[in-house]
Amino acid sequence: MYAAYPCLMEQNRPQDDELRRLREKRLRELQRAAAPSEPAKVLEVSDSTFNGIIQSYPFIVVDFWAEWCGPCRMVGPAIEELAQEYAGRVTFGKCNVDENLRVATSFGISAIPTLLLFSHGRMVDRVVGAHPKSTIKARILRVFGAAVQGGT
């Protein structure tokens, strides 16, 4: 049957299967990269956007800070890096306490920097003070667990 159609004899070569698998794998990678469920950048959080943001993402870390705060400026770059590392799994936001007193007061923010970790809209942990990136990362993994571990 295939002798009359030589092109059909070549359809099921092992190379074709491997090429198909590679194409499917690459397509999945491109789809994941094109549409992460969490933004890779740090979101600006305000009194008016706070509730909507924490309800919109399953795992979110909000950094409460102020421009005049030296320790806050030390933590800021770590938050930016973690937002890139956890893109698609954890959302990061920054809330300036001088401009957003209502949110800061409602969570009893009395020292900055303070990180609040939310899981499905509920605050589950608080980290007060300037900590190195490794400590913040360990806390994220401990609090959010296996749901955010892949790829770090």
What residue has token string 């698609």?
88
Active-site option among 43, 54, 60, 72: 72
Active-site option among 42, 69, 109, 112: 69
In this structure, is residue 63 part of a structural domain?
yes
Q: 28 and 54: one domain?
A: no
Q: 107 and 136: one domain?
A: yes
148 pLDDT band, cuts 50/70/90, is confident
pLDDT digit string, tens, across residues 55-68: 999 999 999 999 99
Domain range for 15 is: 2-34
Q: 48 and 28: one domain?
A: no
In this structure, is residue 122 part of a structural domain?
yes
What beta strand segments (E) does 19-140 contain? 43-44, 59-65, 91-96, 114-119, 122-128
134 has a pLDDT exceeding 50: yes
Our answer to whether residue 95 is catalytic in this structure is: no
pLDDT digit string, tens, across residues 112-125: 999 999 999 999 99
Which secondary structure element, helix H or strand E, spans residue 87, and what is its range?
Answer: none
Give how far the C-alpha of residue 97 lies from the chain's centroid of Cα atoms, to the nearest Å. Answer: 22
Q: Are 94 and 44 in contact (CB under 8 A)?
A: yes
In this structure, is residue 26 part of a structural domain?
yes
Our answer to whether residue 69 is catalytic in this structure is: yes
Q: 17 and 54: one domain?
A: no
In this structure, is residue 140 part of a structural domain?
yes
In this structure, is residue 150 part of a structural domain?
no
Output the six-digit token pair for 69: 């705060």
